Amino acid sequence: MFDRYCGDYAKQTAALLMAAGALTPFATGAAETEEAALITSVRQLTFEGRRAGEGYFSRDGTQIVFQSEREPGNPFYQIYLLDLETGDTRRMSNGVGKTTCAWIHPDGGKVLFASTHLDPEAEAKQKEELEQRASGTGRRYAWSFDPTYDIFETPAAGGELVRLTDAEGYDAEGSWSPDGEFILFASNRHAYSEPLSAEEQEILERDESYFMDLYVMRADGSDVRRLTDEPGYDGGPFYSHDGSKIVWRRFAPDGGTAEIYTANPDGSGAKAITRLAAMSWAPFFHPSGDYVIFATNLHGFGNFELYMVDTEGRRDPVRVTDSEGFDGLPVFSPDGAQISWSSARTSDGKPQLFLADWNDAEARRLLGLADSGDASQPATQPATLPPALPPTKAAIDPDDLRRHVEVLAAPEMNGRLTGSPGERRATAYVASAFEALGLTPAGDDGGYFQGFDFTASVKLGAENELTIDGVDQAPILDRDWRPLGLSATGSTEPADVVFAGYGIVAPGDGDAEPYDSYGELDVADKWVLILRYLPEGIGQERRQQLYRYAELSYKAAVARARGAQGLLVATGPMARAKDPLVPLTFESAAAGSSLAALSVSDELAQAMLAGAGKHIAELQGALDSGESLEGFELPGVRVAAEIDLVQETAGGRNVLARLQAGEAASDSAVVIGAHVDHLGRGLEGKSLALPEEQGQVHFGADDNASGVAALLEIAEYLADLKARGKWQPKRDVIFAAWSGEEIGLLGSTHFTRSFDDGETLHPAIAAYLNMDMVGRLDDKLILQGVGSSPVWPQEIEKRNVPVGLSIVTNDSAFMATDATAFYLKGVPVLNAFTGAHGDYSTPRDTADKLNYVGMQKVARLMALITRSLATAEAAPDYVRQDPTGQSPRRRMSRVYMGTIPDYTLTDGAGARISGVAKDGPAASGGLMKGDIVVEMAGQAIANIYDYSHALDSLKIGVPVGLVVLRGGERVSLTITPGARE
């Protein structure tokens, strides 16, 4: 209950009096509502607990103190301090008894409120109230003015409660004067200390509020003076922003109506500024001192609305809100630009605190007041008060974000391909930013960098030879043919050749038919000649369906799963490719294939097709128009090859820094990261550049200069918070800029392996937060991985309070970004993503297209969540998810195995299983975490592509044989795949 303003009481009293015929119905106000013109960007500030109200700003506008019913075991209000900068909420009262009416000292260091915690019966009253609520009977009115209420103050940082009043009677509704010298409050103490007539005694038993009057005392509780002595309830007093006036509401002696009054701080010059003959209460000065906002039930007993009136009460009050249900207890922010109030415009109809922007100019126009001009605005506060915001430099700032993005996405960075000079430059920039912030290096050998090796490129060895029987010309290396980077090495026996169209096998998808280039074609121990890419002339949806199955690595896996000996890839004359032969590039995830694979020129392909009486241009033309062609043999053509490839290793590097909670590194840390690498000038198989954009720099502003820029701003902000003593973390925060993400989560995977080689990193890593593409905020932020821990929903809700983003959440923790490397190691993960767009993975992803104000919001939210997790006592719980169909490549399949494959293994030894779903088909068949699948359905499995493809060929309910490596032994298993829901 809102004791200060007696909201429930007023309603109850009014209802009682109405029933007794003591009141005439109020005239409904003629005032038109101006809500939309006066208050905008309305949002709910508190959510927790049964209800909340009486929110009051600190003098610097950075905090709000309020009361809320949210303590388990205590049905009454307790007092909470909400930091508007961080979203932190801390209880100020001690949890016992009833509290109400808080206020923040002008220097921000103390909070005062009224409390009954010293009442020996406080806990018994809590219990009784809980029982009454459970039984559904009404609350006991008599407790509203509990005479054991006294005023206390407590340090905002936490500490002992200091008692400021000790008279018998209800002492509450207190607030400090703007200079902190005095406390203005309300009390009915004289009814308990002075002799009462029999009539007065009878009133006291019925209505203690009748005796309420205004008092003032020195800030230490001394020198108490009574300011009013009229019969009836005087209460809810506040000073004006400059301390020259006070405002309060005065009930008529019968308690039926109340009006708004102002007076000098000593109580002289009291006058009513409303004459509404309704219950008008909860007044608060605008900081300009020119007008007062208050609540009134002019429109019906239960329907309190906000109104405002000029300070002199010269004109009629003007209506502010027009929402159904309760609106009351309004206050202005110290700068006058915002309004906070309690409103029942909530989903459950219970009041909570709301915040909105306030249109002062419109308010003045409606009230007939002159423009305030800048001079009368309270922007110029006394010099002794702290500034409203931390210094701009340390705050998360749109201009700083833009600066970081413009550096990282500059042409000199050349698209930041892992292991390239551009990646070295970009990572050096990140390291120097970390160093400038004074963060502790957390990379190799006491530095900021953490290096990792990967197979960056392949070169032709000396021993490459292609022999084709049945074709006149002898193929020349690099003119007529070239091995694919994903090819097996060594020599093959001569074998027959079959043509299999585009070599694509794709399952149906919704209305789309399955696509199968092979059909009944027998390719066992043969070479398969196929076309590169996918059919040109088919519709957009069909292309979308086939796209993921058209990668060469996937086509190779398809051929190999059908027992082919080798793959021959021709580009075909209809395709718009610069290079007739496939460039020699290394694809990490396809390493270790046991299939010989090479690219041949259109001329050489034509020479092989000639014997079958076919022409490559005609075949391609037919396929491109959507025709399905039967595959066929190429009579008389036999191919043998010797393939010699030399893999070259290169180094990439992560950048790692630590914000230490204490002197040494903590046992548990929160990691927040973003990948810094991108596609260079268009990584084969990843770039979505248009033909005319091929080979241009892929700037990667959104993907993922945006995430790294946010990371740097978050690091700066948190380091500053800690330096200012605004934050005492319990565990370190590790800031990570990953390389190698685009080529297979290499950097983050290397980190998770280097950090600890155990099965789980949790709770050594309490949680991992990731940002991948946060620069294109449109209307909603997408937060992924929310199902990985029960902590996320509440953290997101709480920390979004000061940020105010519109958010959609996604539970799945299997994502095509670095978060997955952590999730697979048992760490709760959360990824921020502002959504896909047409410039993704093209040279058009540039810095000028980002929404930097949106990025600021995303970064603030992620910073506050990081801060909160680093402050919490315990690491958040981890939730294991059913991985079925969760991986980026497995969404299409309808077959359910219940395995979590390890997407990062690159050594060609098989597909490692990093987890199995409990009670899933794989688990039932005996497959275990850590097994390496080397054979499935009779086909050898060299890598994740093979495994992924083999899964597509399985049938629901038909048992399949697997061979796995477990502790060096080959183990045979039988698994019966289930159906996905």
Point out which residues bind Zn ion (CB under 5 A). Answer: 703-704, 772
Which residue's CB is nearer to Zn ion, number 67 or number 748? 748
DSSP H or E run through 287: none
DSSP H or E run through 525: none
Which residue's CB is nearer to Zn ion, number 46 or number 704? 704
Amino acid code (one letter) for 399: D
Could you tell me the smallest distance in angstroms from the CB atom of residue 404 to Zn ion? 16
Could you tell me the smallest distance in angstroms from the CB atom of residue 454 to Zn ion? 17
Which residue's CB is nearer to Zn ion, number 660 or number 704? 704
State the burial class of residue 730 (Cβ atoms within 10 Å of its Cβ: 0-12, 13-18, 19+).
Answer: middle
The DSSP annotation for 875-928 comes to: PPPP-PPP-TTTSTTTTT--EE--EEE-TT--SSS-EEEEEE-TTSHHHHTT--
* Backbone φ/ψ region at 968: left (φ over 0), alpha (ψ -120 to 50), beta: left
Backbone phi and psi for residue 429, each to the nearest 5 degrees, phi listed first: -60, -45
Give me the sign of the Cα torsion angle 513, 517, 522, 525. negative
Which residue's CB is nearer to Zn ion, number 208 or number 818? 818
Could you tell me the smallest distance in angstroms from the CB atom of residue 642 to Zn ion? 39
Which residue's CB is nearer to Zn ion, number 360 or number 772? 772
Which residue's CB is nearer to Zn ion, number 265 or number 707? 707
User: Nearest-CA neighbor of 785 among 840, 824, 730?
Assistant: 824
Could you tell me the smallest distance in angstroms from the CB atom of residue 469 to Zn ion? 47
- For residue 763, whether the previous peptide bond is cis, meaning omega lies within 30 degrees of 0, is yes
User: Nearest-CA neighbor of 577 among 556, 552, 560?
Assistant: 552
Which residue's CB is nearer to Zn ion, number 360 or number 845? 845
Which residue's CB is nearer to Zn ion, number 47 or number 840? 840
Query: How far is it, in rounded angstroms, from Cα 635 to Cα 498?
Result: 9
Number of H-type helices and E-type strands within the chain: 19, 51
Which residue's CB is nearer to Zn ion, number 88 or number 818? 818
Query: How far is it, in rounded angstroms, from Cα 328 to Cα 552?
Result: 66
Give me the sign of the Cα torsion angle 808, 813, 815, 818. positive
Could you tell me the smallest distance in angstroms from the CB atom of residue 701 to Zn ion? 11
| 267-279: burial string, b at 16+ Cβ within 10 Å, e else | beebeebbebbbb
Could you tell me the smallest distance in angstroms from the CB atom of residue 674 to Zn ion? 8
Which residue's CB is nearer to Zn ion, number 706 or number 884? 706
Which residue's CB is nearer to Zn ion, number 570 or number 850? 850
Could you tell me the smallest distance in angstroms from the CB atom of residue 817 to Zn ion? 6
Could you tell me the smallest distance in angstroms from the CB atom of residue 837 to Zn ion? 13
Could you tell me the smallest distance in angstroms from the CB atom of residue 652 to Zn ion? 15
Which residue's CB is nearer to Zn ion, number 606 or number 704? 704
Which residue's CB is nearer to Zn ion, number 280 or number 834? 834
- Asked whether 80 and 99 are in contact (CB, 8 A), the reply is no
- Asked whether 980 and 884 are in contact (CB, 8 A), the reply is yes
DSSP H or E run through 698: none
3-state secondary structure (DSSP) of residue 79: strand
What are the residues facing 249 on neighbouring strands? 235, 260
Which residue's CB is nearer to Zn ion, number 175 or number 748? 748
Which residue's CB is nearer to Zn ion, number 12 or number 704? 704
Which residue's CB is nearer to Zn ion, number 247 or number 745? 745
Which residue's CB is nearer to Zn ion, number 461 or number 888? 888
| 691-714: burial string, b at 16+ Cβ within 10 Å, e else | eebeebbbbbbbbbbbbbbbbbbb
Q: Which two tokens stand for residue 307?
A: 């109104």
- Asked whether 975 and 925 are in contact (CB, 8 A), the reply is yes
User: Nearest-CA neighbor of 830 among 794, 779, 871?
Assistant: 794
Give me the sign of the Cα torsion angle 372, 378, 383, 389. negative
Query: How far is it, in rounded angstroms, from Cα 803 to Cα 795?
Result: 13
Which residue's CB is nearer to Zn ion, number 153 or number 772? 772
The DSSP annotation for 89-134 comes to: EEE-S-SSS-EEEEEE-TTSSEEEEEE-TT-TTHHHHHHHHHHHHH
Residue 650: CB atoms within 10 Å: 16
| 385-415: burial string, b at 16+ Cβ within 10 Å, e else | eeebebeeebbbbbebbbbbbbbbbbeebbb
Could you tell me the smallest distance in angstroms from the CB atom of residue 700 to Zn ion? 8
Could you tell me the smallest distance in angstroms from the CB atom of residue 785 to Zn ion? 15
The DSSP annotation for 1-13 comes to: --TTTTHHHHHHH
HSE-CB of 484 using CA atoms within 13 angstroms: 32
DSSP H or E run through 558: helix 552-561
Contacts of 382 (CB under 8 A, 6+ apart): none
Could you tell me the smallest distance in angstroms from the CB atom of residue 675 to Zn ion? 6
Query: How far is it, in rounded angstroms, from Cα 504 to Cα 506?
Result: 6
Could you tell me the smallest distance in angstroms from the CB atom of residue 818 to Zn ion? 9
Query: How far is it, in rounded angstroms, from Cα 38 to Cα 327?
Result: 15
Query: How far is it, in rounded angstroms, from Cα 774 to Cα 592?
Result: 35
